[in-house]
Amino acid sequence: MATITGELASFVSGLRWESLPPNVRTSAKNNIRDVLGIAIYASHDAPWGPNLASFAIEQGYGATQATVAGYGKRTIPTRAALANGSFSLSYLFEDYHAWAQTRPGAVIVPAALAAAELQGASGKSLINGVVAGYEVMPRLVKALPRTREGISMGARGLNNTAFFGSFAAAAAAGVILGLDADQMAMALGLAAEQTAGTGRSGWEGAWSWRLHGGLAAERGLSAALLAAHGFQGPHEVFEGKDNIGEAFSLECEPEWFLFSLGQRWAILDSGYKLYSCRLFYHSAIHSVLELKREYGVALEEIEKVTVYLPGVTPIGSEGQTPDNRAEGIPHTAAALDNGYFCIATALLHGQVLPSQFTDDALRDRRVLDIARDRVEIIADPTMKRLTHPSLKEEKSPGTSTDSRELKLMRRPCRVRMQLKDGRILEDEQEYAPGHPLRPVSRQQLVEKFMYLTTSVLSQQQATDLNDTFEHLEDVDASRLAALLAPND
């Protein structure tokens, strides 16, 4: 009798480049570019980047099998996956998944790249592995959505990117390593032996929350390598006694494990971020910037911006008053999560990018004063129906023979901009730009990539790297990896 783990393993291990639709291939290339662009930027420009890089390189003990973004081929595959996955989660600028509320790319791409370098694999194989990882991770998030007490994983203190990422990384690496269905099932089981990840570091502003991507990538790659070497793991990690859901007291909706497998490609529901902060605020930031652009409004003309968002308490604003909003933000994680700071940053700079989250930027009196005096965030309970766990999603395009209705999350907002001359400008958004139902253009993705990479690479090398992504199926993964660090 077929098992859930077995069917999932059989599907992903059987993926072949020739079977991937053209739009799936394109999405995979876009996701690889997006993730590695962030990794290159953070490798040098994030405070934690050089520390992670030196650790990964030193722990390679002279090996030159795998590439650390920004530094070159200077370590072993598992440590490269650790570093690159951690870089990729640096500024909440990574891709997200629109029906699983997780961040797959930062886990999947680093594990797949390290496996591809180890194998001397083609660009086609790399793309294949990345697609496999995306087929696994969103379905696991949907199948194990909350605790048996009805508490979300986040409220429980578990980070779902770290928790489910190990499985996705194992699938991605396993495909590239050539695991068969039996080995793939065991790789998923071996990933379960290692999965973890708490939310405590975010509250404290510790650097370690970036490790949610890196450690999951490293653990998944290790699981696939163990399986490739004949090390046996459990075959029924999603349904047998003491399975992963039982072990963590998670509610299980088993129909999601195999939801529309082979019919709906999960990677097509990826979302891309144009702003470097919590996704909850992206629609509002975009509305603010669009109102300024459309009406030619200068910052000096704005009296107040009122933002209406779903819920009861605006996320990231607990305990904040107009006075203490102007006292400074304690750390980068708090700034990325703080709507007042992010919207004030957009008003002042016309953008919200990683360079606006330096230590000096967190103390910038101009931003803090705008946040205190000119930004108001109001929780609108009437919007809650659009984002409540049971209602926040709407039916996605396309049809499915599956009985479960797939829905995509929204990120609605209303913005009211009051000008000093008495005019009131208003805007309303349902989706942030980059959402699958509001896609960004190829040019916007390229511009984001060039912004991120030219702080570390030369303009010409960044251009060459972008061209390589465009034709990744025609090159080896080693060619791609060689362009991820500055030329000597």
- pLDDT value at residue 203: 82
Do the beta carbons of residue 267 and residue 24 sit within 8 Å? yes
pTM of the model: 0.94
- pLDDT value at residue 391: 32
Q: Which residues pair with 68 in a beta bridge?
A: 72
- pLDDT value at residue 326: 55
Do the beta carbons of residue 35 and residue 62 sit within 8 Å? no
Q: Which residues pair with 104 in a beta bridge?
A: none
Domain-wise residue ranges, the chain: 4-271, 279-429
- pLDDT value at residue 385: 43
CA pair distance 138, 31, nearest whole angstrom:
15
CA pair distance 449, 72, nearest whole angstrom:
19
- pLDDT value at residue 91: 95
Q: Which residues pair with 270 in a beta bridge?
A: 97
- pLDDT value at residue 2: 84
Contacts of 295 (CB under 8 A, 6+ apart): 425
Any idea what DSSP says for residue 94?
A: S
- pLDDT value at residue 400: 42
Q: Token pair of 464, please?
A: 């060459």
Nearest CA-CA partner of 164 in 173, 153, 155, 174: 153
Q: Which CATH architecture has domain 279-429?
A: 2-Layer Sandwich (3.30)
DSSP line for 14-75: T--GGGS-HHHHHHHHHHHHHHHHHHHHHHHHSTTHHHHHHHHHHTTTT--SEEETTTEEEE
Q: Measure the N-to-C terminal CA separation of the chain; round to a whole number of Å.
A: 56
Rounded alpha-carbon distances, angstroms, from residue 274 to 52, 401, 451, 459: 25, 34, 11, 21
- pLDDT value at residue 388: 36
Q: Token pair of 67, please?
A: 């590439």
pLDDT tens for the 488 residues of the chain, in order: 489 999 999 999 999 999 999 999 999 999 999 999 999 999 999 999 999 999 999 999 999 999 999 999 999 999 999 999 999 999 999 999 998 889 999 999 999 999 999 999 999 999 999 999 999 999 999 999 998 888 888 888 888 999 999 999 999 999 999 999 999 999 999 999 998 888 888 888 888 889 999 999 999 999 999 999 999 999 999 998 999 999 998 999 999 999 999 999 999 999 999 999 999 999 999 999 999 999 999 999 999 999 999 875 544 444 444 445 556 788 999 999 999 999 999 999 999 999 999 999 999 999 999 999 999 999 888 875 444 333 333 444 444 444 466 778 888 999 999 999 999 999 999 999 999 999 999 999 999 999 999 999 999 999 999 999 999 999 999 999 999 999 87
Q: Which CATH architecture has domain 4-271?
A: Orthogonal Bundle (1.10)
Contacts of 73 (CB under 8 A, 6+ apart): 64, 65, 66, 67, 117, 481, 482
Helix, strand or coil for residue 239?
A: coil
